[in-house]
């Protein structure tokens, strides 16, 4: 059981370049989310999705786009990378619904992104 898989693990970009961070889960979880983690700031929610075709903004959405065409995949796009987006990005998934309120959120291993 792979769980939540993120690719790539490391990436270096130049300012203005675009790229997509990939996230896939094989647990049939409805809820998926993207966080960024910066020193001293904890995990901040970027975007989330409650199912295929449904996405919404989190706390820090500016500069990022998402889409959810399938239950399994939830890619995060940086359209024009900026140095302020240098961070560690985590994708997470969870079963959704009141009956699953005692179920944990599963995290991927993270993508370490540096923008020069």
Partner 1 sequence: QQPVQSPQAVILREGEDAVINCSSSKALYSVHWYRQKHGEAPVFLMILLKGGEQKGHEKISASFNEKKQQSSLYLTASQLSYSGTYFCGTAYSGAGSYQLTFGKGTKLSVIP
**C-alpha separations of 32 from 11, 41, 105 in Å:** 22, 21, 9
Query: Among 2, 14, 99, 104, which residue sits at the site for partner 1 (rule: CB under 8 A)?
Result: 104
Q: Is 35 in the site for partner 1 (CB under 8 A)?
A: yes
62 is a contact residue toward partner 1 (CB under 8 A): no
The CB-of-37 to partner 1 minimum distance in angstroms stands at 9
109 near partner 1, rule: CB under 8 A: yes
Token pair 């359209």 in the structure block, residue = 79
CB of 22 to partner 1, least distance (A): 16
CA gap 116, 26 in Å, rounded: 34
31 binds partner 1 (CB under 8 A): yes
96 lines the binding site for partner 1 (CB under 8 A): yes
Q: How many residues bind partner 1 (CB under 8 A)?
A: 28
| Whether the Cβ atoms of residue 4 and residue 21 lie closer than 8 Å to each other | no
- Distances in whole angstroms, Cα of residue 111 to Cα of each of 18, 22, 53, 98: 15, 9, 24, 31
- Which of 62, 83, 96 has the alpha carbon at shortest distance from 16? 83
Identity of the residue, 37 or 65, whose beta carbon is nearer to partner 1 in the bound complex: 37
Binding stretches for partner 1 (CB under 8 A): 31, 33, 35, 40-45, 48, 50, 58-59, 90, 94, 96-98, 101-110
């Amino acid at each position: 059981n792979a769980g939540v898989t993120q690719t790539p693990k490391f990436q270096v970009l130049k300012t203005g370049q675009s790229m997509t961070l990939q996230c896939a889960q094989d647990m049939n979880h409805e809820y998926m989310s993207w966080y960024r983690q910066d020193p001293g700031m904890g995990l901040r929610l970027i975007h989330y999705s409650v199912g295929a075709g449904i996405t919404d903004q989190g706390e820090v959405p500016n500069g990022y786009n998402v889409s959810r065409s399938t239950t399994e995949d939830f890619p995060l796009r940086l359209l024009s990378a900026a140095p302020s987006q240098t961070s560690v990005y985590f994708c997470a998934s969870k079963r959704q619904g009141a009956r699953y309120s005692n179920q944990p959120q599963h995290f991927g291993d993270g993508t370490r992104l540096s923008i020069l």
